[in-house]
Amino acid sequence: MLMEPLCFVPTACQAEVTSVATFTEESLINDKKAELAAVQEKVNQRDDAAARAELQRLSKTGINYSDPEVMLAQMMLQAGRNVEARQVLEKLSGQHPRRFDVHFAFAQIAIGEKRWFDAYSHAELAEIAGFPANWTEAHRESMIRKMAMVKAAACEGRFAWSDAKKTYELLTKQWGKLPEVSAGLGRCEFHLGNDEIALQHFEAFYEETPGADLPEMMVAKLFEAAQQVDQTEAYFQRAIEREKRANSGEQTTNKASRAYVRWLIWSNRPAEARRLLRSLPKGTTDAEKAETDYVSALIARMQGRFDEARDILSRLHQADPASFTIGNQLALVLVEDSDEARRFRALQIAQANTRNHSEFAEAWSTLGWVQFRLGDVTQAEKSLSVALKNGVVERDTAYFLSKIKEKLGQDEVASQLAEASKNANGPTFYLQEELSKK
């Protein structure tokens, strides 16, 4: 069971760009799948000499393989060995600085690390680079298309929307309508200020992609990411109306309505979220039912109905004790309880979350608040300082810090943090009374 974060991150619809490159055409991958998997396992175990020898053997017996060193580097990426992968590629580039597969591999690493200009530069160089001798014409065409997708993604990452649009249009001209290209054109048109044209492209993507969000919902999420509230509201309403009009032949999941509930919570409108959620079916699968319960708990917590939130979250936590999101919310609810055993349980859960998810700022923020509520101000301040290391201060984290600074007698800093929390965007579970006065 995986609970989604409250905030929306527009889906990239760019699987070809963000995944590690396939090395061969699909037919050959299927033929050599077991052998390549065995090589990947050798790389996972750091038996690079054996992996290199096997890749060299395979490259001599088939077509459409990249250079063995490129394949080794890409397998290292799969194994999380990014630094070593780059070292392998750097050494290879000294011998073959103008090979397509070398630039492609470098570009993909850059995309994964969000080094957009580096990715764009390698894509440009690949356009004038030579191909491996064993690539067929069909495979060359396939890799050119994939590199164009990388180039378009690099343009998007640099906010060069007009350039990205031109690249996607060229892809359409050469290879016809592709779902991922339609999605890219939709994003470009949106950021160029043409939301209705963006909607048309998302419609094309929707028609070719089973299970995709409604086009109106895609635009709503983009407006949400741009913090344009009125437009977000309008497109969510359009998505919900379309959902209601769906004929009996279509499978309806109330995806738009459920996404709108989450946005209402994000916008600190729990009463509206509660009314809408109550009007929707709870769900048909266990995952959908658990999601409904989780969102209900968020609303209950936001409205101060802690007993209800505690009961729901305790049940969910029992079913999925490894879930960070559920445990995090449960700890924040339990620490507000009058029962000391439950308050101590909040500390245990918060501590476990920081052990298991030490990279999550939210885990440290929650631990700091729990420690503060239990009277350990010194440890609370230390935990909150860890939460601040990534440079991003969430709204409720600022609130937590303001209370700690107030307790320490640092009134001016406390006042600044409290004001920052009050004026920030996003959901808050501690300032609902203040917001209701606005």
Say if residue 29's pLDDT is above 50. Answer: no
Contact 217, 240 (CB under 8 A): no
Q: Residue 254 has what pLDDT?
A: 86
> Residue 436 pLDDT more than 60?
no
Note the pLDDT of residue 19.
39
Average pLDDT over residues 80-99: 92
Q: Is 297 exposed, middle or buried (0-12, 13-18, 19+ CB in 10 A)?
A: buried
Q: Is 356 left (phi over 0), alpha (psi -120 to 50) or beta?
A: alpha
Mean pLDDT of the chain: 88
Within 8 A by CB and 6+ apart from 293, the residues are 312, 315, 316
* In contact, 407 and 378? CB cutoff 8 Å: no
Burial of 22 (0-12, 13-18, 19+ CB in 10 A): middle
What residues does 130 pair with on adjacent strands?
Answer: 99
d(CA 368, CA 365): 5
- Nearest to residue 207, comparing CAs of 189, 192, 186, 190? 186
Least confident of 198-207, 233-242, 290-299, 416-425: 416-425
* Residue-level pLDDT at 24: 40
Confidence band, pLDDT 50/70/90 cuts, at residue 71: very high
With contact defined as beta carbons under 8 Å apart, do 367 and 354 qualify?
A: yes
Structure tokens at 304: 């101060």
Report pLDDT digits (tens) over 313-365.
999 999 999 999 999 999 999 999 999 999 999 999 999 999 999 999 999 99
Q: For 24-46, give one letter per residue: b (16+ CB within 10 A) or e.
A: bbeebeeebeeebeebbebbeee
Residue pLDDT, tens place only, 216-244: 999 999 999 998 999 999 999 999 999 88
Q: Please give the model's pTM, rounded to 2 decimal places.
A: 0.81
Q: Is-contact 236 210, C-beta < 8 A?
A: no
- Is pLDDT of 133 > 90? no
CA dihedral (348, 356, 291, 186) positive or negative: positive
Q: What is the per-residue pLDDT across 262-281, written as a single tens digit (0 to 9) for each?
A: 999 999 999 999 999 999 88
Residue pair 302/274 in contact by the 8 Å Cβ criterion: no
Answer for the pair 413, 389: CB distance below 8 angstroms, yes or no: no
User: Confidence band (pLDDT; 50, 70, 90) for 117?
Assistant: very high
How many of the other CB atoms lie within 10 Å of CB of 170? 14
Token reading at 142:
């396939």
With beta carbons less than 8 A apart as the criterion, state whether 350 and 374 touch.
no
- Which of 194, 128, 187 lies closest to 155 in space, CA to CA? 187
List helix spans (H) across 374-410. 377-387, 395-407
**Tally of CB atoms within 10 A around 289:** 13
Say which CATH architecture domain 1-151 belongs to.
Answer: Alpha Horseshoe (1.25)
Contact 189, 195 (CB under 8 A): yes
Q: Can you read off the two tokens belonging to residue 289? A: 């039912």
* Residues 6+ away with beta carbon under 8 Å from 49: none
Does pLDDT of 10 surpass 70?
no
d(CA 5, CA 423): 21
CA atoms within 13 A of residue 212's CA, in its CB half-sphere? 22
Q: Dmax of the chain from CA atoms? A: 74
Side-chain-facing half-sphere of 199: CA atoms under 13 Å: 12
Q: Which residues contact 390 (CB under 8 A, 6 or more apart)?
A: 361
